Amino acid sequence: MIEAGRDVEFIKVGDLVSVPFNIACGRCRNCKERATGVCLSVNPARPGAAYGYVDMGGWVGGQAEYVMVPYADFNLLKFPDKAQAMEKIRDLTCLSDILPTGYHGAVSAGVGTGSIVYVAGAGPVGLACAAASHLLGAACVIVGDLIPERLAQARSFGCETVDVSKSATIAEQIDAIVGAPEVDCAVDCVGFEARGHGKDAVKEAPATVLNSLMEITRAAGALGIPGLYVTGDPGGIDDNAKVGRLSIRIGLGWAKSHVFTTGQCPVMKYNRQLMQAILFGKINIAKAVNVEVITLDDAPRGYRDFDKGAAKKFVLDPHGFVRKAA
Ligand SMILES: NC(=O)c1ccc[n+]([C@@H]2O[C@H](COP(=O)([O-])OP(=O)(O)OC[C@H]3O[C@@H](n4cnc5c(N)ncnc54)[C@H](O)[C@@H]3O)[C@@H](O)[C@H]2O)c1
């Protein structure tokens, strides 16, 4: 932290901290219940806010040289020892968003010791969810995507993979891996930009992941849904998709007594424990998501590569701090 506002009591200039992507006041009913992803005070338009994100309260920053963090004592996570933290700084950068988000997806899907897990999506959130599932003790983590490099990245740290663009269904591919066409826990790390499956993998089909997860998840199982669904998508594939209305087969989920957990991840619920897991070497998240640290000037290239499906998590390092530590 480089400067403190007059009401900041506990965080000091010079502290090394992690900033959750959610902004939360720490005083409202939801914050008191640890639902900091839907804080009631920081966005006049709706519950929940984030830095530099459309429709999330108008807060600037996030991907910038500096960011102003409101309610800093509440929002910031201080690393206990700067020198120790700098040794793991590439991993610790993942604490702001993807690691807690992936972990939240796994926890809300009920992942625990011995679970068979399917994670839809091998982007940074999906890979973080897969690594988190290993941390939680899953017996077998199967990651689905249609980008070969991303599936190879998932295999690089011990996941099984499913290529959703193949003609074999997800259930058939899961059957070939675990000997049954279903899983205990499923996590949607794709959201509304989902592609269809099989020959439909070339098209956007926003309800595909949710419907397929209901098919493959055991009765009485749970679906973690960190993948984003929106209330408005002007570029949506039809009039329904444009207002976030999807053709979801809820009857199937109901018949199987599925539990659904949606929404922004309440980062603060998990970031301290995950920091300790990183500091004590229990999870190698930077390796799992293939962190590449880049300058702010290089961000447009990072975005281009990411849009093309690079199997990487680009971390912006505006002041060269992370690169110096490496
Ligand atoms: N809930 C939260 O708090 C939170 C936080 C961060 C990100 N997110 C959301 O999580 C999602 C994933 O984020 P990301 O950065 O990893 O995105 P990403 O776009 O890099 O990854 C999504 C992956 O899903 C794959 N995919 C597309 N259709 C598929 C299908 N039918 N089955 C399996 N895979 C499919 C894509 O090829 C891509 O690799 C996004 O919707 C993002 O907005 C949510």
Q: How far is the CA of 194 from the centre of ligand 1 (A)?
A: 8
Residue 322's pLDDT is 93
Locate the ligand 1 atom nearest the alpha carbon of residue 225 and give its number.
Answer: 1
Atom in ligand 1 nearest the alpha carbon of residue 197? 31
- Expressed in angstroms and rounded, the spacing between residue 32 Cα and the centre of ligand 1 is 29
Does the CB atom of residue 312 touch ligand 1 within 6 A?
no
Mean pLDDT for 169-195 is: 97
Q: Which residue has the tokens 């539990």?
A: 259
Q: What is the mean pLDDT of residues 27-55?
A: 95
Domain ranges of the chain: 17-90, 98-262, 290-325
> Amino acid identity, residue 123?
G
pLDDT of residue 273: 98
pTM: 0.97
* Confidence bin at 236 (pLDDT 50/70/90): confident
pLDDT at 326 over 90: no
| pLDDT, average across residues 43-56 | 93
Q: Kindly indicate the confidence band of residue 232, based on its pLDDT and cuts at 50, 70 and 90.
A: confident
pLDDT for the residue numbered 244:
87
Confidence of residue 237 (pLDDT cuts 50, 70, 90): confident
pLDDT of residue 195: 96
Average pLDDT value for the chain: 96
Q: What distance in angstroms lies between residue 113's CA and the mean position of ligand 1's atoms?
A: 25
For the domain made up of 98-262, the CATH class stated in words is: alpha beta
Which among 182, 185, 181, 128 has a CA at the least distance from the CA of 159? 128
What string of DSSP letters covers 70-105?
SSHHHH-EE-S-HHHHHHTHHHHGGGTTHHHHHHHH
At residue 325 the predicted structure's pLDDT band, cuts being 50, 70 and 90, is confident
Give the ligand 1 atom nearest the CA of 98: 6
Q: What is the pLDDT of residues 142-170, one digit of tens each?
A: 999 999 999 999 999 999 999 999 999 99
Residue 235 has pLDDT above 90, yes or no: no
Q: Where are the beta strands (DSSP E) in the chain?
A: 17-18, 77-78, 116-120, 140-145, 160-163, 183-188, 217-225, 259-262, 291-294, 313-316
User: How many C-beta atoms lie closer than 10 Å to residue 148's C-beta?
Assistant: 14
Give the pLDDT of residue 224.
98
The pLDDT of 229-251, averaged and rounded, is 91
Tokens of 213: 């997860």
Q: What would the mean pLDDT of 97-121 be, rounded to a whole number? A: 98
In the structure, what pLDDT confidence band is assigned to residue 223 with cuts at 50, 70 and 90? very high
* pLDDT number for residue 241: 87
Q: Is the pLDDT of residue 183 over 90?
A: yes
Residue for token digits 């309800």? 207
Report the pLDDT value the prediction gives residue 248, as an integer from 0 to 100: 95
- Ligand 1 center to 226 CA (angstroms): 9
Atom 18 (ligand 1) nearest CA: 123
